[in-house]
């Protein structure tokens, strides 16, 4: 049976001389793997539509295993992402994270929309780090992780100054600071943004301007939380960190 879908290429692997195995994240079916026969040949009509990050309409032959890609019609090649190494590094991490935290053939239109919007915003030149933080915060629930951001994890208080406790998985108020000597010290601005990113409807993202110190705090908290709870070790994350420190030295 032929199936139509709207999808984004989140992974490609060469297969044999001429073929590619392409992983699409689709609006209709969630993550789907398809074989794109001949797609490695530049002359193939499947060549352009199977490039990483491409957004388009796809037609594939469904099967219990790997489907066969029949046709693709490009909506966006995400060209700016592909042409810039920093953009590519961030977007590669985003699609890799999506691939790792999702199961095959489990539709999640909310996640499709989030992925599409994030890549579109990156392609249009929005702040890469902010978009990556938001995506990471929004992917937590998908992984069954629920950081406590609306109150102190220890006493439940919603008032006061807050730091972040990795051990307790959330905010810790100033009355409870001493219960975790390893808590991460963060500013009130960072607390606000962690909450905002966790809850924000991405389609309502305006121009958020964030100070470098605040970005550094956000990165510290989100990275440490992922390291502790996600169980993921992504090469694309490591590459992204290397690119960021490289850029900071420029």
Query: Going residue by residue from 84 to 103, which x/- string records binding to Zn ion, judged by CB under 5 A?
Result: --------------------
Are 26 and 18 contacting, i.e. CB atoms less than 8 angstroms apart?
no
Q: What is the rounded distance in angstroms from the CA atom of residue 185 to the CA atom of residue 191?
A: 10
For the bound state, the minimum distance from the C-beta of residue 171 to Zn ion, rounded and expressed in Å, comes to 8
# binding residues, Zn ion (CB under 5 A): 7
- Closest approach of Cβ 223 to Zn ion, in Å? 24
Q: How far is the CB of 189 from Zn ion (least distance, A)?
A: 20
**Shortest gap between Cβ of 198 and Zn ion (angstroms)?**
19
Contact string (CB under 5 A) for Zn ion, positions 147-186, x = contact: -----x-xx-x---------------x-xx----------
Answer left, alpha or beta for residue 5, where phi above 0 means left and psi between -120 and 50 means alpha.
Answer: beta
**Where do we find the tokens 């009355």?**
175
- List the one residue out of 113, 99, 130, 109 whose CA is nearest residue 232: 99
DSSP code, position 104: B
Applying the rule CB under 5 A, the residues between 109 and 128 that interact with Zn ion are none
25 vs 177, beta carbon nearer Zn ion: 177
Choice between 68 and 160, CB closer to Zn ion: 160
Residues in 183-212 at the binding interface with Zn ion, rule: CB under 5 A: none
Kindly tell me which of 71 and 187 has the beta carbon lying closer to Zn ion.
187
- Shortest distance in whole angstroms from residue 97 CB to Zn ion: 31
Instruction: Say whether residue 137 binds Zn ion (CB under 5 A).
Output: no
DSSP E strands: which ranges in the chain? Answer: 2-15, 19-26, 30-36, 55-61, 67-76, 162-165, 170-173
Identity of the residue, 88 or 153, whose beta carbon is nearer to Zn ion in the bound complex? 153
Q: State the minimum distance, in angstroms, from the CB of residue 195 to Zn ion.
A: 16
Query: How many CB atoms neighbour CB 166 within 10 A?
Result: 18
State the virtual CA torsion across 113, 205, 150, 181 in degrees, nearest 10.
100
CB of 166 to Zn ion, least distance (A): 16
Four-residue CA torsion sign, 205, 211, 212, 217: negative
Query: Tokens 């406590």 appear where?
Result: 148
Nearer to Zn ion, 20 or 163 (CB): 163
Structure tokens of 112?
A: 């499709």
Question: How far is the C-alpha of 52 from the C-alpha of 168, rounded, in Å?
Answer: 38
CB-nearer residue toward Zn ion: 95 or 172 = 172
Residue number, 21 or 173, with CB nearest to Zn ion? 173
* Binding residues for Zn ion (CB under 5 A): 152, 154-155, 157, 173, 175-176
């Amino acid at each position: 049976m032929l199936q139509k879908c709207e999808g984004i290429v989140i992974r490609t692997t060469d297969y044999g001389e001429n073929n590619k195995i392409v992983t699409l994240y689709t609006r209709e079916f969630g993550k789907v793997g398809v074989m794109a026969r001949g797609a490695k040949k530049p002359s193939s009509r499947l060549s352009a539509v199977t490039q990483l990050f491409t957004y388009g309409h796809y037609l594939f032959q469904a099967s219990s295993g790997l489907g066969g890609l029949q046709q693709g019609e490009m909506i966006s090649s995400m060209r700016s992402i592909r042409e810039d190494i920093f953009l590519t590094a961030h977007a590669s991490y985003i699609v890799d994270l999506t691939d790792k935290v999702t199961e095959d053939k489990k539709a999640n239109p909310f996640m499709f929309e989030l992925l599409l919007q994030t890549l579109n915003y990156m392609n249009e030149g929005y702040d890469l780090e902010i978009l990556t933080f938001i995506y990471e915060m929004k992917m937590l629930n998908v992984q069954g992780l629920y950081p406590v951001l609306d109150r102190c994890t220890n006493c439940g208080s919603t008032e006061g100054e807050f730091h972040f406790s990795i051990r307790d998985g959330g905010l810790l108020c100033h009355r409870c600071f001493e219960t975790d000597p390893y808590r991460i010290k963060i500013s009130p601005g960072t607390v606000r943004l962690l909450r905002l990113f966790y809850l924000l409807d991405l389609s309502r993202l305006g121009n958020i301007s964030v100070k470098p110190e605040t970005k550094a705090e956000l990165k510290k908290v989100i990275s440490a939380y992922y390291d502790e709870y996600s169980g993921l070790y992504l090469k694309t994350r490591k590459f992204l960190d290397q690119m960021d420190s490289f850029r900071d030295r420029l």
